[in-house]
Amino acid sequence: MTSSGKKIFLYGGLLGGIALVIGAIIAVTAPKLTVLTTQLSESDHIVGSKESKIILIEYSDFQCPACKQFSDVVKAVVSEFQSHIAFAYRYFPLRKIHKNSGISAQAAEAAGLQGKFWEMHDVLFEKQEQWAAMPESQAIEAFKGYAKDIGLDEQKFEKDLSSSNVIEKVAADEKSANKAKVGHTPTFFLNGKEINNPKSLDEFRKVIRDEIEKNNK
Amino acid sequence: MSIQKIPNWILASILILASLGFIDATYLTISHYVGADLYCGVSGGCSTVTNSAYSTFMGMYVSVYGMLYYMSILISTVIYIDTKNKKIIKLLMILPAIGFLFSLYLVYLQLFVINAICIYCMASASISTLLLIINMFLIQNYKKLIN
């Protein structure tokens, strides 16, 4: 091989390799933005202005650390824009990697039957580290404790937790997520269109503000 | 035994290790910037670590430094293979030491401060440890390599 041939081989290989690695990883990890067809329904847990035309839907998993991180940002954004948007939380438990994700979603739904979905939602995220590593039976005991703390009827909560209604509601959310090809949590849909997860509160504000302005025109 | 050049097996090991490190750091960086959840296996500590307050260092996401670090080792090694420039040997001795110390700090953070382990970060720490071991060989033969 000539010396310039060798140079081309060396540096070309280096640059090509670097470009290939970056390209391949972007292709594998990049979220494919999808469109959500399911609109809000009676069974959704909604805050904000229910009549609003601007609908933000989050698919989330109570055991996912990124969802916990996002929950504060979401709360801030939703309370700021509550007179302009409707926000709904839907379950997308990543059962394969989070063993208590399914039962925690059921706990929130069972609390919802007593009108305290959001209270349970907050406690589950707040105490995520406590129950995430527990075996399921122990996690259920922890959830019962939270139910008591937020003032639920414990017996009803325990009965609802594993009732078919609750299990089906969680499964229905999962089904709608799979239909929309949700691939990660949290995933946000703003008026049916998936948005890239905002990096900061300001970025989230901007996305919502832009959508509101678009709708006011 | 007189060594005038860095032996090929050393160069090959450096290239392989730095490439693995680069792939690892790039995965962490890109997942962060596209906002995807890391696929973490059963232990599940990845996002806790990569979303923690310690995931940025001097304004930049930590794995970006990892990418730059592995990339600079790759580039220096390739330049050395091409030119056999002795200044590069010095660079190849200094870089792994810096990388190792930084990894040590990150492992400390995971074990004692954040209390969660991210396998990708630990993989990178293992790679930088192996690079340091190779570095020891270079330092041991420093005089023979430079003269």
Domain ranges of chain B: 8-33+44-146
pLDDT tens digit string along A160-208?
Answer: 999 999 999 999 999 888 888 888 889 999 988 888 888 889 999 999 9
Contact A179, A59 (CB under 8 A): no
Amino acid present at A215: N
Are A18 and B22 an interchain contact pair (Cβ–Cβ within 8 Å)?
yes
pLDDT tens digit string along A57-72?
Answer: 999 999 999 999 999 9
Same domain, A109 and A139: yes
A108 found inside a domain: yes
A36 found inside a domain: no
Architecture of the B8-33+44-146 domain: Up-down Bundle (1.20)
* B chain contacts of residue A66, beta-carbon cutoff 8 Å: 37, 47, 51
CA separation, residue A167 to residues A101, A102, A190 (Å): 12, 9, 26
Q: What residues have CB less than 8 Å from A43, skipping those under 6 apart?
A: A169, A172
Average pLDDT value for residue range B110-114: 87
Amino acid present at A105: A
Q: How many domains does chain A have?
A: 2
Same domain, A2 and A62: no
Q: From the candidates A2, A25, A72, which should be mutated to test the interface with B, based on the most B CB atoms within 10 A?
A: A25
Is residue A101 scored above 90 in pLDDT?
A: yes
* A chain contacts of residue B81, beta-carbon cutoff 8 Å: 10
A190 found inside a domain: yes
Same domain, A52 and A24: no
Same domain, A49 and A26: no
What ipTM goes with this model?
0.72
Same domain, A191 and A110: yes
What is the band of B43 on the pLDDT scale with cuts at 50, 70, 90?
Answer: low
- Tell whether omega for the bond before B96 is within 30 degrees of 0, i.e. cis: no
